[in-house]
Amino acid sequence: MTETFSYRCITFYRSFVAYTSHRLQELGLSFGVLFLLVYVGKHPDCTQGELTQALELDWGYCQRSVVKLVEDGFLLRERKGRAYHLDLSEKGREAFELSHQFFSDWDEQVLGALGEEEREQLFVLLDKVKTKEGISDPCTRPF
């Protein structure tokens, strides 16, 4: 049987979850909140509504996750007008930096057999597929 692209994507996803989950637990985080933390780190002073919409999350799930991240000291939440604005606390900034290191370390582990030119070619091809499918990526867009 020929492997499909979707199967390979899921395999990489599961590998990344396994790789990062243990490290996140050491920080007191779960994989489920990783991208909330990354988004707020890349978009300081965002609102909860912006976070929910950008990550395409259920409002209730996002609300519970933000409250937990605030209670655990990773996020700061301040009411400005009618909306809550979010920022990273010092503990959140440390976790944000370490999360980026997890991404880099996993990339190196998985892509270590590829040369620089092969990596660039892989990213160009993946971007082409992503663009064709209209997939957005709010966590990794530049500021």
Task: Write out the DSSP string of 15-74.
Answer: HHHHHHHHHHHHHT--GGGHHHHHHHHHSTTEEHHHHHHHTT--HHHHHHHHHHHHHTTS
Residue 6 has pLDDT above 90, yes or no: no
pLDDT at 96: 94
Average pLDDT over residues 108-121: 92
pLDDT at 134: 60
Q: Which residues of 44-66 are buried (b: 16+ CB within 10 A; e: fewer)?
A: eebbbebbbebbebeeeebeebb
Tokens describing residue 137: 């990526």
pLDDT at 143: 36
